[in-house]
């Protein structure tokens, strides 16, 4: 038996004041980012803000990485993809952020053409079409998503209420929100563009964080039953966190292994997605120990004996 | 021990089902682009079938066309607004069916919008033409059987020659296709999408007597020696329309669905178009149907002349026939009634094709002269769904729902083929690292957990294939989360077993206690995730839904693999002296 984490007895709950401070800061960052993104002032990706799309093809084959590399210098938010068309080989689609004016759009096409001539001498690039595209995430999609998320939150609160108690349901939801906002905030200030992949990452980390929290709660529930009347609430919570610590590290470790690989070799496009997931795993683990558990400790301290 | 037996049997059964469900996906995914291109040319129907049965890739992974339409309610009468979006959707679905898109997604959005996603399709202009037009419902007569036979003989020989030259070498095909300029323009009548009332009335006014003696349109080349075994066209179809009253057959044929693309290719050959007279057209049925356990399309040979326009119909309703079965009833009034009476009076006991956007919804026999009120009796095999489809088609033609395109994007795979392949290989590397890590840390037990995880992924892909679900990038994120949760279940169990072992229990007792005590935590964490995924799946749309699908099934399967599959493996041995964990 090889163990990374030996038996521990760390006073996690004792550090809750510091943790709350850190968490409030993270949530504040996240709320700020959410407001900026919600009002359209954030670093919105083409998925949300719309953009300009240009389709064209080369006479000779061109590696997509070279093409992306050639364009990134001038357009930092460029998205290049190949077009699978048997009739037109070597065709690419180049998306850039929404231009402010019609003129700017034309200028941009000219700039792109110049870059092609300069960077791919001996090859010719023909523009097949160009137009301004709307956001892929429309108003109704946004509303649907909000509604779906609210319903699932309600479902989680009710389930945890039935299986544990009401305050655990609230605390787990708060911890999940904390994680999503924290990652959103950090990504925003790190200049990561807000696009569909980031939304996906946020959903994924919410699922991860929730699982992590429920596992810790389960052990707290078990220990409270086992040691009822034989110790303080805080001791039981601390003991529970310590008992599941090796599991927490193992699970976070394996998940991190997965997402770090994705960040390292998954390519440019998936990088921000994987970085958000890495942040999510770290913060999700932190929150189930330092946020979700302390909330019920504080709650219990103010209105005792509600946690059965 | 019988419990153990059942679990093994159940798992084996699931494996067999999963292999079966996943087979087509495996075939498609292991084909190279060149293979697919070759298949597209030789057997386009098979490729489409493969694509339909395999796990579908979403718009973000393979690109395609994304269109948002608005039904122009303000241009419609108050009474016509109800169900207008559904009618427009039905029409769009019918039209898209002809594009050969493996999996179109047509959804209603809000009160007056329709989203159309055509993954894998890149011809924006054609899609726009098809989707953005208002439905046109026409009534047309069928060509008589004698003319049809002559035409089909000629097509047979032309197609035979074409296929022969294709087989011999590719250069002859070019010469055969060269004189396209001389081709008459059979598309013109179809292209006049909005035949207006006056044009329609002119056509109807010109209608005189029996039009069936119109053989002059054919110039039969008697030098062509058409043998029975060289009839590539006619041997692949089977005539089915026959008037019992008169003993006359009509040129309507059953064509196997898998032959449809081949037929389309033949019918669009310039040399074939040249032998089809301008006043007739081939038209497919609006959708495939099942006959004799085969999925078939009907192919009709119609006269191009528009005999009657759908807009004269009103009060379309479903009814019960005299001898059971369903009927679709309609009313006519004023000008329309007089025209229809004259049309039906002249063509009693002939089939009248109901054509929507150049596709035949049905070709019912004219039983008697119809003036104000008509009734279409559905065939004996038709169910209420068929009758409803017919009703929607008639309504769509009678109360056309005008649409405008408000958003149209041709999207390449938004991630790009290179990013997808990189992401795919990165996921594989990550997975291997996770497997190694678990295997090294938990030793033999870890290997058992790894087996469970692999089963989990395999079953998940099989379920996706079985449900013909669409895999999107968010879906892949859901799979990554599934891996995390699945591994977590095993870690919870193993850490519990270790705790139990440390208390000095026997290995057997520790394993059982570990599984038992970890169950609550695993169950609760899985169920919370299932609730999240379920809610996101039911209420979410687009990318949210894509994420929810894989997560939901992944977590459900994880519960099974953690508690049945890994336990089965642990239970193979009854007595353990020590445990490698």
Residues B205 and B352 in one domain: yes
CATH code: domain of residue B525: 1.20.1640.10
Within-domain flag for A8? no
Element (H, E) at A39: none
In tens digits, what is the pLDDT along chain A, a chain of 308 residues? 667 777 788 888 888 889 999 999 999 999 999 999 888 777 788 777 777 778 788 888 888 888 888 888 888 778 887 766 556 678 787 888 777 777 777 788 888 888 888 888 888 888 877 766 666 666 666 777 788 888 988 999 999 999 998 989 999 999 999 999 999 999 999 988 888 888 888 988 898 999 999 999 999 988 888 876 656 788 889 999 999 999 999 999 999 999 999 899 888 778 888 999 999 999 999 998 899 999 988 888 887 764 44
CA–CA dist B362, B382 (Å, integer): 12
Q: Residue B413 pLDDT > 80, yes or no?
A: no
**Under an 8 A CB cutoff, do A207 and B544 touch?**
no
pLDDT score for B221: 40
* CATH number, domain containing residue A160: 1.20.1640.10
Q: Which of A87, A108, A133 is the last residue of a domain?
A: A133
Higher pLDDT, B404 or A3: B404
> What's the pLDDT band for B471 if we cut at 50, 70, 90?
confident
When mean pLDDT is compared across A227-231, B298-302, B544-548, the lowest value belongs to A227-231
Residue range B186-195, pLDDT digits in tens = 333 333 333 2
**Residues B471, B339: one domain?**
no
Q: Is the pLDDT of residue B465 over 80?
A: yes
Same domain, B123 and B263: no
Residues A200 and A101 in one domain: no
Together in a domain, B117 and B20: no
- Residue B394 counted as domain residue: no
pLDDT digits (tens, 9 = 90+) for B500-518: 999 989 999 999 999 999 9
CA distance, residue B145 to nearest chain A CA (Å): 40
Q: Indicate the residue among A133, A167, A182 that finishes a domain.
A: A133
DSSP string across A97-142: EPPSSHHHHHHHHHHHHHHHHHHSTT--EEEEEEEEE--SS-HHHH
User: Cα–Cα distance between B493 and B499 in angstroms, integer?
Assistant: 10
Q: Do B540 and A144 touch (CB under 8 A)?
A: yes
CA-wise closest residue to A181 among A75, A25, A21: A25
- Whether residue A195 lies inside any domain: the answer is yes
Q: What is the pLDDT of residue B44?
A: 63
Instruction: With beta carbons under 8 A apart, name residues in chain B contacting A163.
Output: 524
Closest CA to A213 of A153, A160, A149: A160
Check which CATH number belongs to the domain holding A78 and give it.
Answer: 3.30.70.1130
- Do residues A289 and A213 share a domain? yes
Residues B439 and B549 in one domain: yes
Q: A218, B483: Cβ pair inside 8 Å?
A: no
Do A189 and A262 fall into the same domain?
A: yes
Confidence band of B167 (pLDDT split at 50, 70, 90): confident
pLDDT tens per residue, range B74-90: 877 777 777 788 878 87
- DSSP of B430-443: HHHHHHHHHHHHHH
Q: Are B453 and B47 in contact (CB under 8 A)?
A: no
Cβ <8 Å between B539 and A148: yes
In a domain, A1, yes or no: no
Same domain, A34 and A153: yes
Same domain, A246 and A292: yes
Tokens, residue B14: 């699931």
Looking at the structure, tell me whether residues A143 and A291 fall in a common domain.
yes
How are beta strands A91-97 and B326-332 bridged, if at all?
unpaired
Q: What pLDDT, on the 0 to 100 scale, is given for residue A242?
A: 92
Task: Enter the DSSP assignment of B285.
Answer: B
Is residue A59 included in any domain, yes or no? yes
CB within 8 Å: A204 and B477: yes
- When pLDDT is cut at 50, 70 and 90, the band that residue B385 belongs to is confident
Q: For residue B355, what are the CA distances in angstroms to A98, A186, B146? A: 43, 59, 22
Residue B462 pLDDT greater than 90, yes or no = yes
pLDDT of B176 reads 43
Residues A87 and A25 in one domain: no
Inter-chain contact A93–B426, Cβ cutoff 8 Å?
Answer: no
B327, B371: one domain = yes
Domain span at residue B465?
A: 2-32+415-571
The pLDDT assigned to A1 comes to 64
In a domain, A6, yes or no: no
Within a domain: A307: no
Write the residue in A1, A269, A277 that is nearest to B498 by C-beta: A1
Number of domains in chain B: 3
pLDDT in the model for residue B169: 56
In a domain, A270, yes or no: yes
> What is the pLDDT at residue A282?
94
Residue B494 has pLDDT above 90, yes or no: yes
* Same domain as B252, residue B117: no
Q: What is the pLDDT of residue B220?
A: 36
Query: Are B81 and B208 found together in one domain?
Result: no
Instruction: Answer yes or no: is B46 within a domain.
Output: no
Identify whether residues B202 and B262 lie together within a single domain.
Answer: yes
| Residue B12 domain flag | yes
More confident residue, B20 or B203: B20
B61: nearest CA partner in chain A: A81
Q: From residue B377, how far is each of B325, B367, B394 by CA, in Å?
A: 8, 10, 14
**Does the residue B292 lie in any domain?**
yes
Inside any domain, residue B370:
yes
**Do A157 and A284 reside in the same domain of the chain?**
yes
Same domain for A80 and A197?
A: no
Inter-chain residue contact B521 with A215, CB threshold 8 Å: yes
Last residue of a domain, one of A99, A133, A167: A133
* More confident site: A56 or B557: B557
pLDDT value at B578 more than 50: yes
Q: Give the pLDDT of residue B201.
A: 31
Query: Could you say which of B40, B495, B533 has the minimum Cβ distance to residue A246?
Result: B495
Residue A147 inside a domain? The answer is yes
Which of A144, A211, A239 is best to mutate for the B interface (most B CBs within 10 A)? A211
Q: Report the complex ipTM.
A: 0.84
Residue B6 shares a structural domain with residue B81: no
Q: Is the pLDDT of residue B393 over 70?
A: yes
Instruction: For chains A and B, count residue pairs whose Cβ atoms are closer than 8 Å.
Output: 247
Domains held by chain A: number: 2
Distance from CA of B90 to the nearest CA of A (A): 22
Rg of chain B over Cα atoms, rounded to whole angstroms, equals 30
Q: Are B65 and B410 in contact (CB under 8 A)?
A: yes
Whether residues A229 and A248 fall in one domain: yes
d(CA B71, CA B92): 12
Owning domain of residue A94: 51-133
Question: Among A34, A7, A292, A10, which Cα is nearest to A182's?
Answer: A34
Shared domain for A90 and A208, answered yes or no, is no
Residues of A in contact with B499 (CB under 8 A): 243
A149 and A248 housed in the same domain = yes
Q: Are residues B488 and B441 in the same domain?
A: yes
Please give the C-alpha separations between residue A197 and each of A49, A96, B5, B63, in angstroms, as whole numbers: 14, 17, 44, 16
Q: Which residues of chain A neighbour B501 with C-beta distances below 8 Å?
A: 1
B163, B204: one domain: yes
Of B338, B365, B342, B368, the C-alpha closest to B354 is: B365
Residue contact A55–B426, C-beta within 8 A:
no
Asked if A207 and B499 come within 8 Å (Cβ–Cβ), the reply is no
Tell whether the model's pLDDT for residue B102 goes beyond 70. Answer: no
pLDDT (average), residues B401-408: 77
In a domain, B56, yes or no: no
Q: Is B471 within a domain? A: yes
What pLDDT band is residue B127 in, cutting at 50, 70 and 90?
A: confident
Q: What is the CATH number of the domain that holds B80?
A: 3.30.70.3400
Task: Note the pLDDT tens digit of each residue in A47-77.
Answer: 777 777 787 888 888 888 888 888 888 887 7
Percent of chain B with pLDDT over 70: 83
């Amino acid at each position: 038996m090889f163990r990374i984490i030996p038996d521990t007895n760390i006073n996690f709950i004792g550090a809750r004041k510091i943790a709350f401070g850190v968490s409030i800061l993270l949530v504040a960052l996240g709320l700020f980012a959410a407001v900026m993104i919600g009002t359209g002032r954030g670093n919105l990706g083409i998925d949300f803000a719309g953009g300009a799309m240009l389709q064209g093809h080369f006479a000779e084959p061109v590696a997509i990485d070279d093409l992306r590399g050639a364009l990134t210098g001038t357009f930092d938010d460029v998205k290049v993809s190949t077009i699978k068309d048997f009739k037109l080989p070597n065709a690419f689609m180049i998306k850039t952020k929404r231009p402010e004016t019609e003129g700017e759009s034309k200028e941009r096409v000219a700039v792109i053409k110049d870059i092609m001539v300069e960077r791919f001498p001996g090859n010719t690039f023909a523009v097949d079409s160009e137009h301004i595209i709307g956001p892929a995430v429309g108003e109704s999609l946004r509303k649907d998503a909000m509604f779906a998320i609210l319903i699932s939150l309600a479902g989680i609160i009710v389930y945890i209420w039935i299986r544990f108690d009401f305050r655990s349901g609230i605390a787990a939801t708060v911890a999940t929100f904390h994680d999503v906002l924290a990652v959103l905030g950090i990504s925003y200030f790190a200049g990561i563009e807000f696009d569909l992949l980031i939304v996906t990452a946020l959903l994924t980390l919410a699922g991860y964080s929730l699982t992590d929290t429920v596992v810790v709660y389960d052990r707290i529930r078990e220990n409270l039953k086992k040691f009822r009347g034989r110790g303080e609430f805080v001791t039981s919570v601390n003991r529970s966190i310590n008992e599941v610590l090796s599991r927490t590290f193992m699970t976070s470790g394996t998940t991190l292994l997965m997402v770090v690989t994705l960040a390292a070799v998954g390519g440019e496009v998936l990088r921000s997605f994987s970085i958000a997931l890495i942040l999510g795993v770290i913060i999700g683990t932190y929150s189930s120990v330092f946020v979700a558990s302390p909330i019920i400790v504080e709650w219990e301290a103010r209105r005792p004996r509600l946690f059965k | 021990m019988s419990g153990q037996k059942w679990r093994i049997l159940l798992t084996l059964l699931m494996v067999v089902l999963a292999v079966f469900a996943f087979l087509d996906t495996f075939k498609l995914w292991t084909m190279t682009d060149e293979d697919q291109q070759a298949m597209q040319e030789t057997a386009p129907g098979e490729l489409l079938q493969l694509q339909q049965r395999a796990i579908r890739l979403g718009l973000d992974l393979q690109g395609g066309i994304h269109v948002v339409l608005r039904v122009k309610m303000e241009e419609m009468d108050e009474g016509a607004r109800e169900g207008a979006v559904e009618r427009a959707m039905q029409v769009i679905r019918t039209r898209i069916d002809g594009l050969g898109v493996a999996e179109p997604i047509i959804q209603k959005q809000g009160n007056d919008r329709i989203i159309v996603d055509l993954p894998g399709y890149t011809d924006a202009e054609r899609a726009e033409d098809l989707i953005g037009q208002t439905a046109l419902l026409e009534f047309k007569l069928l060509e008589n059987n004698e003319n049809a036979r002559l035409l089909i003989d000629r097509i047979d020989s032309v197609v035979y020659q074409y296929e022969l030259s294709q087989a011999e070498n590719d250069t002859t095909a070019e010469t055969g296709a060269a004189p396209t300029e001389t081709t008459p323009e059979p598309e013109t009548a179809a292209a006049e999408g909005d035949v207006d009332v006056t044009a329609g009335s002119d056509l109807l006014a010109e209608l005189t007597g029996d039009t069936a003696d119109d053989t002059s349109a054919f110039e039969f080349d008697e030098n062509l020696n058409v043998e029975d075994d060289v009839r590539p066209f006619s041997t692949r179809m089977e005539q089915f329309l026959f008037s019992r009253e008169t003993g006359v057959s009509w040129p309507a044929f059953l064509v196997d669905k898998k032959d449809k693309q081949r037929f389309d290719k033949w019918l669009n050959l310039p040399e074939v178009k040249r032998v089809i007279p301008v006043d007739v057209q081939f038209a497919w049925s609006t959708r495939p149907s099942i006959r004799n356990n085969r999925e078939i399309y009907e192919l009709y040979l119609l006269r191009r002349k528009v005999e009657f326009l759908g807009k004269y119909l009103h009060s379309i309703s479903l009814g019960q026939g005299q001898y059971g079965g369903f009927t679709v009833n309609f009313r006519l009034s004023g000008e329309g009634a007089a025209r229809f009476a004259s049309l039906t009076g002249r063509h009693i006991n002939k089939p009248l094709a109901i054509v929507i956007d150049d596709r035949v919804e049905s070709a019912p026999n004219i039983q008697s002269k119809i003036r104000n009120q008509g009734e279409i009796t559905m065939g004996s095999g038709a169910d209420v769904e068929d009758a409803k489809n017919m009703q929607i088609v008639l309504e769509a033609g009678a109360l056309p729902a005008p649409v405008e395109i408000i958003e149209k994007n041709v999207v390449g795979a938004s991630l790009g083929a290179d990013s997808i392949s990189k992401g795919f290989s990165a996921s594989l590397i990550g997975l291997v690292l996770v497997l190694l890590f678990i295997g090294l840390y938990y030793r033999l037990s870890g290997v058992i957990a790894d087996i469970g995880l692999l089963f989990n992924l395999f079953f998940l892909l099989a379920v996706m294939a079985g449900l013909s679900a669409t895999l999107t990038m968010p879906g892949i994120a859901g799979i990554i989360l599934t891996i995390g949760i699945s591994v977590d279940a095993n870690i919870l169990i193993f850490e519990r077993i270790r705790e139990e072992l440390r208390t000095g229990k026997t290995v057997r007792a520790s394993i059982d206690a570990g599984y038992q005590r970890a169950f609550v935590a695993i169950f609760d964490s899985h169920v919370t995730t299932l609730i999240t995924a379920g809610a996101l799946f039911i209420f979410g749309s687009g990318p949210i839904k894509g994420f929810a699908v894989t997560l939901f099934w992944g977590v459900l399967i994880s519960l099974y693999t953690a508690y049945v599959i890994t336990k089965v493996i642990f239970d193979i041995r009854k007595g353990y002296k020590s445990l490698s964990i």
